[in-house]
Amino acid sequence: MDPSIVKELEAIVGPENVSTSVADTYVFGFDSSIHRHKADVVVMPVRTEEVSDIVKLANRHRIPVVARGGGTGLSGHAVPVKGGIVLSTRRMTKIIDVRVEDLYVRVQPGIINDDLNKVLMKRNFYFPPTPGSGKVATIGGMVANNASGMRAIKYGATRDYVMGMEVVLPTGELAHLGTRTIKNSSGYQLDRLIVGSEGTLGIITEITLRIMPVPGNKALVLAAFDDLRKAGQTISDVIAYPVIPSAMEFMDRTCIDAVISAFNVNFPHSEAIVMIELDGHLAEIADNMEIVEKIASDAGAIEVRSSDDPKEMAEWVAARKAVLPAMSAMPNKASVALADDMSVPISKIPDAVVAFHEIAKKYDIIIATYGHAGDGNLHTKFLLDVNDAKAWKRGEAAVGEVYAVVNSLGGTTSGEHGIAITKAPYMRKERKDTLAAMIAIKKALDPNNIMNPGKLFEWEGLILADLRYPAEVEEDGHPAEGFGEGVE
């Protein structure tokens, strides 16, 4: 990067908040995906005006700008694939205004989800989307990705709580979108356009979020099955009854075995577990618990356990959350986010999981499936030897088949993690009749293509590109030059 540009950035935010050090440009080149690419410079503004000045400078010089929150994106969202400026919101963590009487909170984008909820809970309110990454993920990153989590079945996704926002557009101009009112029918809902835009249309500098009262009581039902289809039947029957649980989580045998073996969790050895969380008034919970237990037994559960003991429920939830670290403990394998976040219509979950198992067998890889079954959102983790270029190629071929199944079942490429790089080719295929509209919107707002370039519909390369692992994989499955030599 031209040193004069670094000097200008230092003049905007102070030299202590600009870094071109090898360590910073390297570390800020990663997120939680399989990808990485070195940044040219990392800059940490604290005020909207600073963000605007940085973006104006970048736009003048046609330098890419990639917003970065907690870096927990799983598809390469915050990876600066074209180099340029990584704009970290690490210092933009202010809660500007808590207005429980108006049901909203105004925040800067860098506040972490769980930190915000700690403050809101003191007033008996909260922001309901609960990603597994809530200890690290920022509200800006959640809005830019339309993140959600296990409670979306009853409480929706981030999109459902965004009332308004302030955005620095790619030209550096400020725009105020949406409102601070519960209702708003005043023209185009442009705040919704920014939700899920993955940092490609502007930098969010302030967000007004709707908040909700904390639900009172909770109980959990845990049902284990010797057959995936019986688990699927339970999920569909609970919803059709209708009982709308606050969460309904699913784990297949690979996940169950992994958490039992890594953490000695007291879960039944089985083909599938469905964990159903009920919330509300005590009498309502008791009624629904009985209904859910009967549905699971009628569907053929081999074991049904229920609990309203906070300690026991916390242990079960912790065990479900331990799936990812448990898989990382498997010898000679790493869990990688390839096709990690599809959604299918709720009743199609068993078809999807059975098909994923068949694809895994065909390509001699392990695909572990778990997720937020109550809303049809599955997570698959591919377990690979990351030093084996052929295993990567088999994984890549399996991804194509996984998404073909998802599409044939009426599903979508991503339910909550977003697209960025790893899922770009499949999103392009799925959304082919609206791609032109997306491209036109991007061109209108970002004529010089500086905002997180190369992502979403713009990513035309292979999904096994810019790998964070010391393996670059060639077309024929053999290691490319530099394989095994370590990263830059």
Interface residues with ligand FAD (CB under 6 A) are 31-32, 66-74, 77-78, 89, 109, 131-133, 137-138, 140-142, 144-145, 147-149, 198-199, 203-204, 324, 416-418, 452
Provide the minimum distance between the beta carbon of 379 and ligand FAD in the complex, in angstroms, as a whole number.
8
Q: If residue 263 lies in a helix (H) or strand (E), which one and from where to where? A: helix 253-263
Rg (CA), the chain: 23
Closer to ligand FAD by CB, 32 or 236: give it.
32
CA distances from 292 to 89, 174, 372, 375 (A): 43, 50, 17, 17
Provide the minimum distance between the beta carbon of 88 and ligand FAD in the complex, in angstroms, as a whole number.
8
Paired tokens of 391: 């295993």
One-character DSSP codes across 93-124: --EEEEEGGGTEEEE-TT-BHHHHHHHHHTTT
Paired tokens of 277: 């969380």
**Bridge partners of residue 67, in order along the sequence:** 87
Residue among 328, 405, 417 nearest 377 (CA): 417
Asked if residue 238 lies in contact with residue 295, where contact means CB atoms within 8 angstroms, the answer is yes
Provide the minimum distance between the beta carbon of 133 and ligand FAD in the complex, in angstroms, as a whole number.
3
One-character DSSP codes across 156-218: --GGGGEEEEEEE-TTS-EEEEE-SSS---SS--HHHHHTT-TTSS-EEEEEEEE-EEPP-EE
SS3 369: strand
Provide the minimum distance between the beta carbon of 32 and ligand FAD in the complex, in angstroms, as a whole number.
4
Which position's Cβ is nearest ligand FAD? 141
Closer to ligand FAD by CB, 205 or 270: give it.
205
Closer to ligand FAD by CB, 132 or 215: give it.
132
Closer to ligand FAD by CB, 149 or 395: give it.
149
Closer to ligand FAD by CB, 85 or 285: give it.
85
Measure the CA–CA gap between 209 and 13, rounded to whole angstroms. Answer: 27
Residues 6+ apart with CB under 8 A from 287: none
Closer to ligand FAD by CB, 203 or 292: give it.
203
Provide the minimum distance between the beta carbon of 166 and ligand FAD in the complex, in angstroms, as a whole number.
10
Closer to ligand FAD by CB, 296 or 319: give it.
319
Provide the minimum distance between the beta carbon of 66 and ligand FAD in the complex, in angstroms, as a whole number.
5
Provide the minimum distance between the beta carbon of 452 and ligand FAD in the complex, in angstroms, as a whole number.
5
Asked if residue 80 lies in contact with residue 59, where contact means CB atoms within 8 angstroms, the answer is no
Closer to ligand FAD by CB, 78 or 221: give it.
78
Provide the minimum distance between the beta carbon of 112 and ligand FAD in the complex, in angstroms, as a whole number.
8
Beta-strand pair 85-88/41-43: parallel
